[in-house]
Amino acid sequence: MSQRQLAMVMDLNKCIGCQTCTVACKTQWTNRNGREYMYWNNVETYPGSGYPKKWMELGGGFDTAGDLQLGVVPNIASDYGVPWDYNFEGLAKGEQLKPDVTPTWGPNWDEDEGAGNFPNDNYFFYIPRICNHCSNPGCLSACPRDAIFKRDQDGVVLVDLDRCQGYRYCIAGCPYKKIYFNPKISKSEKCILCFPRIEKGLPPACAQQCVGRIRFVGFLDDEDGQVYKLVTKYKVALPLRSDYGTVPNVYYVPPTEAPPKFDAHGKIIEGSTRVPMEELEKLFGKEVHAAAKTLKDEMKKRKETGESELMDLLIAYKHDDMFRLDSGYYADYAKSHSLEPIKIVDERYINGKFTKEMKFFAPKGGHA
C-alpha cells in the first residue's frame, strides 16, 4: 500500500468510443521503439473479445485466499495483433491500397459488434482501459526481480527498467493484461499514469484529451474532490472485476442510461434495461444495483428540483470539475524525501546490448 492513492473515474454513460484517448496515449508514449503493438490506453467494445483477445479468460490476480494465480502471457501476433501500415506511396503508382501484412487480429477487431437482436434488445457499450495502478498489484507480486514498485506519494505503479530482465511473470500475474513485453529491449512496460504530467499538476493525456469528458482524476482521500465523491460519497463509481483481488484504482460509473427494450411489436417495454444488469454485475459486482438506483434517483431529483450535486459532478462542466492535481504537493514531497526525478525511459535502452531489430513483427504469412 502507498501513503496516498491517485485514482481515475470513468463515466461509461458518456464514452462515445472515439479513441481520442487512445491516440493521445499512443502518440505520447507507444508509437515507437518496440511499443508499436502496445495500447497502454485502449477502448474496447463490450460484449467483445477486448484487448488482448479474451483478456478476461487469461488468468492472473489472486484467489480468495490471497494467493497469486499466474495466468497466460498473450501471444503478440495472435492475441494483440501485428501493427500494420498501408502502401500509401504505391497509390501514386496506381497500386491498390492494401495493408503491408495480412491482418488477422488487432485492437478493436470486433468494435461495435455487441449482442442481442436489432432493434429489440441489441446493445453494446465502450470500456476504456488503462493500468489500474492497483493497491495489490498482481504484476508486482509476480515479479521475481522486484522490478515493479508502487510509489508512496501517489500509488502509481512503475517498472524499474534497470532491474527488469523481461521474464514476463508480471504479464502472467496481471489479470487485466495491462503490462506489456517490449521485444526490442527485452523489458516489460506499462501505463505510467503520465507521472511527468501529473507532477506538474496536469492530468494524464488520455484524461485531458477525452472528448466525452468522462474521466476524473484525483486522490482517493481528497474529500472535496470529484473522485472521492463519486467513489466514496455516492458510491456510483465501481472497480472493474474486483474479484481478481488486485484492488484496482480505476473506477467506472456503469452504463445504465441506455434506451429501453422493444417488444415483438416494436413497443417500448417500460422499465426495461437494454444493457443487461447481469452483465454489469459480472463486470462491477453486486454493488452495481445500488449504483444504478442512485444514478436514477439523482437524475429524477435533478429533473424535478433542478438540484443534484451528483449530476453536476457527472456533467463535468469544466476541467476544474474533473481534475484535482497539485504540483506543489509533488514538489514538497520530493523535497522532503530528497527524491531525484525519475528518468523518462524513452531513449535509455534503445541502443543497449539487448536491443533487437523488430523482426518479431515480421508476419509469418509474408507481406499481403
Question: Which residues would be at the binding site for ligand SF4 (CB under 6 A)?
Answer: 15-21, 43, 126, 128, 131-134, 137-139, 157, 174, 176, 178-179, 190, 210-212, 214, 246
* Closer to ligand SF4 by Cβ: residue 69 or 294: 69
The residue type found at 51 is Y
* Closer to ligand SF4 by Cβ: residue 320 or 357: 320
* Closer to ligand SF4 by Cβ: residue 120 or 136: 136
* Closer to ligand SF4 by Cβ: residue 7 or 101: 7
* Closer to ligand SF4 by Cβ: residue 34 or 138: 138
Long-range CB contacts for residues 14-17, cutoff 8 Å, separation at least 24? 14/212, 14/213, 14/214, 14/314, 15/43, 15/125, 15/126, 15/127, 15/128, 15/212, 15/214, 16/126, 16/211, 16/212, 17/43, 17/45, 17/111, 17/112, 17/126
Q: Closest distance between ligand SF4 and the C-beta of residue 21, in Å?
A: 3
Q: Closest distance between ligand SF4 and the C-beta of residue 63, in Å?
A: 15
CB 126 within 8 A of CB 132: no
* Closer to ligand SF4 by Cβ: residue 33 or 188: 188
Q: Closest distance between ligand SF4 and the C-beta of residue 71, in Å?
A: 11
Bridge partners, 189 (sequence order): 180
**Parallel, antiparallel or unpaired: strands 6-11 and 250-253:** parallel
Give the C-alpha separation, 229 to 310, whole Å. Answer: 8
Query: How many residues appear in the chain?
Result: 368
* Closer to ligand SF4 by Cβ: residue 21 or 291: 21
H or E segment to which residue 179 belongs? strand 179-182
| Cβ neighbours around 98 below 10 Å, total | 13
* Closer to ligand SF4 by Cβ: residue 17 or 204: 17
CB 253 within 8 A of CB 291: yes
The residue type found at 274 is R
Q: Closest distance between ligand SF4 and the C-beta of residue 159, in Å?
A: 9
Q: Closest distance between ligand SF4 and the C-beta of residue 131, in Å?
A: 3
Q: Closest distance between ligand SF4 and the C-beta of residue 164, in Å?
A: 13
* Closer to ligand SF4 by Cβ: residue 188 or 308: 188
| Cβ neighbours around 99 below 10 Å, total | 15
| Cβ neighbours around 311 below 10 Å, total | 15
- Cα→Cα distances 358→76, 77, 82, 180, 350, Å: 12, 13, 11, 15, 12
Residue nearest to ligand SF4 (CB): 212
Q: Closest distance between ligand SF4 and the C-beta of residue 50, in Å?
A: 14
Q: Closest distance between ligand SF4 and the C-beta of residue 289, in Å?
A: 24
Bridge partners, 182 (sequence order): 187
Strand, helix or coil at 122?
coil
Q: Closest distance between ligand SF4 and the C-beta of residue 121, in Å?
A: 24
